[in-house]
């Protein structure tokens, strides 16, 4: 029986498996290997708090590209939501925990369907520690030292924990008061309110972390340091669907022409008292294509000059969350700084952080009780600790894009390219591993589409047999 392996059981791995089950007409075995107790939910949809919300409205969160109402139809049948106005629901920001339940319920249905099609599902709770390829198979090593041979393998490894910022005293990163993984509840519990907390980064995870700290009863001060200290923006689209920019987009525009065009349209909507949000959103469907036409130099320019601005424009929060963040700033509880951390030293009573304050143009120090790293998922494989992806890189089974944002792969077939740039016949990747190739390859609306397209390619419609699993 054909075996398809999926490394990673978050949204991407789950939906690829679900789509494969739905599209296949012949028996095969699907093996999902996930290292954490987060099957189906992954990092994003297994939050420690009800207060952690989806950053996209419910109407845009269907797990199926061809059934946009699927999530809404699931939600409306839940006890808490029966009778709710569907338009209201469509435009609301629901808890990510609820979305995790949605994915689990999709998975339960897929398991039933698999049984009727005699598709075998094997779930392995283990870490993939290494990977090799042969002519017609992929060999996975697991952390119990066993090996698993599959005909096709999909890497859906998703979000890696943030990288440690470069400081002089790297020993600090061994401290119990440093939290490299901001998505675990440990980062916000048992915090001493007498001293401030430092959050590195000021994006969406900073917001989640602040709400997590408050929920745990923390009422001290919070510092957040990021290179530019940009204000996180709220969603304030009034429903405007902007199309003028699209009409003027041409193939192969340079980065300069694009920036000029976007600025022109932002100016034009602002003239009417409207937010620039609709202009940025109208670009969304084109970003992957635009990114692929950029030269190396243009991509480098984007990363050095525009990446942070783009991040702020794209990653917005619900208005009421934004209000709470602003209130904390007004109350002197939250201080957002633009700058760079120079060093972090821990003594018996506190942690001293030295940083360069960009606005004041001087070095400053603050004494705090803990540091939470909210700089976002690491995508450069060379910075990962103990990852099989890093091994694959050194064995030239795979290679990175030139900016080291992910894995080099064909964006149409999802085949991973080896060190010589040749696509593998049986090794694929989707999700955030494709960031270097597509730039936008993180959110549900991109991932559901990738899962659908890859499973269309890999679906099993005849009964090829391969040798049994070797352990
Ligand atoms: C905190 C957060 C909030 C988000 N909120 C939203 C949102 O509201 N809306 C939206 O559209 N997008 C959101 N996103 C984007 C999010 O990345 C995607 O929506 C989606 O959840 C990604 O799923 P994934 O399966 O690709 O990755 P992950 O969820 O990271 O899942 C990957 C899985 O692979 C496992 N894994 C990794 N390596 C190995 C290995 N070697 N062996 C075995 N298992 C392994 C991991 O343990 C994990 O379970 C959010 C992301 C984060 C981090």
At 308-366, the pLDDT tens digits run 888 888 889 999 999 999 999 999 999 999 999 999 999 999 999 999 999 999 999 99
SS3 124: strand
CB 193 within 8 A of CB 166: no
Separation between Cα atoms, residue 369 and residue 175, nearest integer Å: 11
Q: Report which ligand 1 atom has the smallest distance to the Cα of 54.
A: 8
Residue 386 has a pLDDT of 85
Residue 39: name the closest of 106, 93, 131, 114 by CA.
106
Which homologous superfamily does the CATH classification assign to the domain defined by 170-233+317-373? FAD/NAD(P)-binding domain (3.50.50.60)
Fold of the CATH domain 3-53+95-160+378-458: FAD/NAD(P)-binding domain (3.50.50)
Separation between Cα atoms, residue 16 and residue 25, nearest integer Å: 16
Separation between Cα atoms, residue 193 and residue 219, nearest integer Å: 6
Total number of residues shown for the chain: 471
Q: Is the C-beta atom of 444 inside 6 A of ligand 1?
A: yes
The CA 377 to ligand 1 mean position distance, Å, reads 9
Q: With 60 as the cut, is the pLDDT of residue 270 above it?
A: yes
Please determine whether the domains at 3-53+95-160+378-458 and 170-233+317-373 fall in the same fold group of CATH. Answer: yes
Q: Report which ligand 1 atom has the smallest distance to the Cα of 42.
A: 29
Cβ burial, residue 310 (10 Å; 0-12/13-18/19+): middle
Cβ burial, residue 108 (10 Å; 0-12/13-18/19+): exposed
The CA 336 to ligand 1 mean position distance, Å, reads 27
The CA 10 to ligand 1 mean position distance, Å, reads 5
Cross-strand bridge partners of residue 155: 7, 429
Local confidence band at 468 (pLDDT 50, 70, 90 cut-offs): very low
Separation between Cα atoms, residue 162 and residue 139, nearest integer Å: 28
Q: What is the pLDDT of residues 51-76, one digit of tens each?
A: 999 999 999 999 999 999 999 999 99
CB 376 within 8 A of CB 181: no
Angle at 43 between CA 38 and CA 48, to 5 degrees: 85
Q: Is the C-beta atom of 43 inside 6 A of ligand 1?
A: yes
> In the structure encoding, which two tokens stand for residue 113, read together?
């369907």
The CA 444 to ligand 1 mean position distance, Å, reads 10
The CA 142 to ligand 1 mean position distance, Å, reads 20
CB 212 within 8 A of CB 192: no
Residue 463 has a pLDDT of 61
Pocket-testing residue among 16, 33, 43, 130, ligand 1, by greatest number of atoms within 8 A of Cβ: 43
Please spell the DSSP secondary structure of 325-338, one letter per residue: HHHHHHTTSEEEEE
Q: Is the C-beta atom of 54 inside 6 A of ligand 1?
A: yes
Q: Is the C-beta atom of 53 inside 6 A of ligand 1?
A: no
Residue 230 has a pLDDT of 85
The CA 49 to ligand 1 mean position distance, Å, reads 17
Q: Pairing between strand 370-373 and 178-179?
A: parallel
| Angle, helix 204-215 to helix 319-330, in steps of 10 degrees | 70
Question: Domain limits of the chain?
Answer: 3-53+95-160+378-458, 170-233+317-373, 244-314
Separation between Cα atoms, residue 428 and residue 451, nearest integer Å: 11
Q: What is the pLDDT of residues 395-425, one digit of tens each?
A: 999 999 999 999 999 999 999 999 999 999 9
Separation between Cα atoms, residue 183 and residue 339, nearest integer Å: 24
Q: Is the C-beta atom of 406 inside 6 A of ligand 1?
A: no
Q: Pairing between strand 29-34 and 120-125?
A: parallel
């Amino acid at each position: 029986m054909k075996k398809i392996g999926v490394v990673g059981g978050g949204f991407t791995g789950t939906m690829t498996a679900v789509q494969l089950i739905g599209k296949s007409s012949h028996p095969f075995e699907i093996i999902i290997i996930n290292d954490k107790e987060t099957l189906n939910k992954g990092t994003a949809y297994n939050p420690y708090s009800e207060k952690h919300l989806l950053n996209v409205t419910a109407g845009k969160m269907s797990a199926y590209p061809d059934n946009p109402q699927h999530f809404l139809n699931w939600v409306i049948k839940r006890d808490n939501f029966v009778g709710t106005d569907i338009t209201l629901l469509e435009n609301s920001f629901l808890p990510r925990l609820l979305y995790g339940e949605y994915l689990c319920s999709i998975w339960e249905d897929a398991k039933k369907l698999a049984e009727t099609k005699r598709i075998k599902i094997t779930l392995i709770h283990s870490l993939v520690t290494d990977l090799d390829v042969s002519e017609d198979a992929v060999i996975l090593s697991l952390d119990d030292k066993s090996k698993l041979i599959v005909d096709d393998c999909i890497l859906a490894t998703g979000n890696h924990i943030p990288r440690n910022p470069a400081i002089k005293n790297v020993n600090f990163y061994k401290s119990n008061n440093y939290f490299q993984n901001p998505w675990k509840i440990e980062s916000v519990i048992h915090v001493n309110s007498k001293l401030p907390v430092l959050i590195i980064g000021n994006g969406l995870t900073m917001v989640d972390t602040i709400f997590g700290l408050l929920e745990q009863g923390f009422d001290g001060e919070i510092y957040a340091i990021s290179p530019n200290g940009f204000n996180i923006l709220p969603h304030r689209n009034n429903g405007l669907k902007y199309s003028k920019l699209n009409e003027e987009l041409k193939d192969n525009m340079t980065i300069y022409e694009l920036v000029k065009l976007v600025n022109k349209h932002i100016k034009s909507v602002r003239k009417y008292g409207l937010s620039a949000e609709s202009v940025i959103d109208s670009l969304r469907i084109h970003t992957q294509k635009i990114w692929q036409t950029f030269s190396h130099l243009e991509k480098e320019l984007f990363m050095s000059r525009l990446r942070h601005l783009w991040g702020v424009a794209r990653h917005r929060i619900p208005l009421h969350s934004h209000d709470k963040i602003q209130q904390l700033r007004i109350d002197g509880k939250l201080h957002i700084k633009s700058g760079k951390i120079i060093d972090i030293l821990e003594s018996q009573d506190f942690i001293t952080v030295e940083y360069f304050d960009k606005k004041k143009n001087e070095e400053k120090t603050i004494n705090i009780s803990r540091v939470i790293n909210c700089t976002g998922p690491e995508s450069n494989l060379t910075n990962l600790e103990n990852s099989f992806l890093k091994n694959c890189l050194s064995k030239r089974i795979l290679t990175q894009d030139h900016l080291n944002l992910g894995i080099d792969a064909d964006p149409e077939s999802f085949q991973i390219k080896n060190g010589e740039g040749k696509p593998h016949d049986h090794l694929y990747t989707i999700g955030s591993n494709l960031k270097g190739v597509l730039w936008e390859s993180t959110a549900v609306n991109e991932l559901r589409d990738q899962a659908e397209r890859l499973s269309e390619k890999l679906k099993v419609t005849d009964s090829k047999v391969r040798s049994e699993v070797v352990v």
